A and B are shown apart, each in its own frame.
Chain A
Amino acid sequence: MVRLGDDPATARRTLEAMWRIRRFEEAVDDLFARGLMHGTMHLSIGQEASATGACFALRDDDAITSTHRGHGHCIAKGADLERMMAELLAKETGYCRGRGGSMHIADVATGNLGANGIVGGGIPIAAGAGLAYRLQGIDRVVVSFFGDGATNEGAFHEAVNLAAIWKLPVVFVCENNKYGMSFSTEKSMAVETIAERSGGYGLPGVTVDGNDVEAVNEAVTTAVDRARAGDGPTLVEALTYRWKGHSKSDKNLYRTREEISEWRDKDPIGRFEALVVERGVLTATDVEEIRAAATNDVRDAARRANAAPDANPDDLLDAVFATA
C-alpha cells in the first residue's frame, strides 16, 4: 500500500492539510480569547492526523459525517477556509449563513454531510447515506467520524448494527481521545478498546495509532476498499488526544499536566514532518514553507471573512422550510 509520506506531492498535501487544520484552530482559539468570536467551539488540536489520514482515504465524491469537534474533518475533506471562518465570525458568507456556527458546518459540495452538535447524531445519518448510495447504484463510501463518548450512545449501536446487517458502504472512524468531556474511557466502558465493540455486530474492528497519519490512512483505506467492494462496514479506532480542553469552560481538572505534556510530545504533525524529512521525501525547507503557507492562508481567510457582511436576520422565518 502506498503511504502518505512516500512521494513528495502526497506528503506535501498531507502536511498542508494538517497545518491548515492546526493554524485554523489556533486562529479560532485566539479570536475567542480576544473576544472577537462568540458562541462556543471545540478544538481538535492534536488530532489532525486522524481527520487527515481518514479523509485522504476517500475519493472526492465520497461523503463524511462529522462531529462537534469537526473543523479538522471539514478542512481535510476540502472545505474552504474563508467560508468556515466566515461562519464562525457570524457572516452572511459563512457555510451556513451564520445559522449553524462551529458545530454545524457542512459542505455538501465536498461530500461533508455535516458536523453535528449531538454526540452520536451523525452515525445513523452516515448509515442512511450509505444506504442511499447503495439504492442509487453508486459506489460511494461514507466515513462517519465520532468520538469515544459517542460509542456509549444508542445511536452508535443502532447505526453500526444496521450497517452491518445491510453491508452498507460505511466506515466508522472513532477518534478516541480518551475523554467524553471529562469522563475517561477507563470509566465509561468495561472493554479495553472501542474496536472490540465491533465484535458485537459482526464487523471488523481495528485500533490504530491515531497520531500516525499513515497508519490511520492505511487502516481507513483498507476499510474503504472493503466497503466499496460491497463487503460492508468496518470500525476503525484511532487513538489520539486533544491538547485543548473540551470547550471554553474546561479547566482541565480531570487530567494531569503531565498527561497533556506527554501527548504534546506525540504531536502528529511534527512526527510526520520528521518522518518525511528522514525519508528524503521533503526537505526541511519544504516543511518550513508548507507551515508558513498554512499560516498565511488562514490569516488571509480570516481577514477576508471579517470584511464580509454580517449574517442577516431578515429572512430567518423563510429559511425554516425548503421550498422546492
Chain B
Amino acid sequence: MEIVCPAGTPAALRTAVKAGAHTIYCGFSDETNARNFPGLNFNRTEMREGVEFAHSHGVKVLVAINTFPRAGDEVIWHNAVADAEAAGVDAVILADPGLLDYATNNHPKLRRHLSVQAAAANADIINFYAQRFGVKRVVLPRVLSVQEIATINAEIEVETEVFVFGGLCVMAEGRCSLSSYVTGKSPNMNGACSPASHVEYHDDNGVLDARLGGYTIHRVEKGEPAPYPTLCKGCFTAGEKQGHLFEDPVSLNAGQLIPQLKKAGVTALKIEGRQRSRSYVAQVVRNFRAAVDALALGQPMPEGMLAKLSEGQATTTGAYKKTWR
C-alpha cells in the first residue's frame, strides 16, 4: 500500500522522503489549500525544487488545491493548477466542481485526484467524478466504515485513499461552516479551520479558558492539558448534559485497521498533519512504512509501534468502526 505523507515545508518534504514516504502531498502558500497557516506551504520555486528532490528519490508529489475558489478571484486557483503542472507534480487534489471542470478542460494531461473536501461518500458520485472529470483517485470522507469502503471499492474503478492518522474531522469534510460561524473566516474559502489568529487563552486564577472567536470552547483547571479550541471537539451544554457533544479532543489512529483497509481495496493511506514538525512526520512515516512493508511480506504488523505514536493522547478509529456513529 502507498503511504501518502504531509509536507508543510520543503524541509518536511525532504524529511518525509528520507523517512520512506511513497508519496508527498503539499500546497502553495496561499488560500488555495486547506492548510493555509502562517509560515506553512511552498512558494513556486520551492515547489519545483521539492518535486525535483522527490522524483530523484522515486517519490511522487501531489498538490492540494482543495479549497473552493472565491467568486471573483478564481484566477488565483487557476494559476495554482497551472503552476502545479509546470512544476511537474504527479497530480493535483481538487474539490470544487468548477475547478475540476476548469482543470479537465485546460490541463487535461494533469492527473486529478478528488479531495476529501468534496466528501464523495458513495460509489455513484465517485463514478460520476471519474466520468465527468477524469478523476483517477478519490480521498474518502471520514464518514464511512471499513465495510462501506469495501462496498464502494467493489463498485468503482478509480483508486481510493483514506486517512489513517492525525487530525480528525467529525463533520463531512468541505461541508462544515462551524469555524466560519464563529470567526467569519471560512475553511472552504480561506483554507483554515479554527485559525490561530482567532484563538485566545485566558488564565483566570488558574482556570484556563481556550476561546475561539471569543467563545469559550474548553475550560481546564491548572495543570490540566488545554486542547487547541477546535469547535467540533469543544465542550458544550445541551439539555441537562455537559460535555464534548460532538467529539472528544481525540485524533485518528487507524493503524490497527491497515490489514482490513487493504482487504477493502484501499490503494493509499494518508497521514494528516502538514502543520506538524519534521520529527513528528519522520516518526509517523517510518512507522507506517514499516507496517505496510510487513503487510506486503505477509508478516505480522510491528507490535506497539503505532500505539506509541499517540502516546499520552486520546485516539479513535473514527467512522471506520460503525459504532462511532
Q: Do A and B bind?
A: no
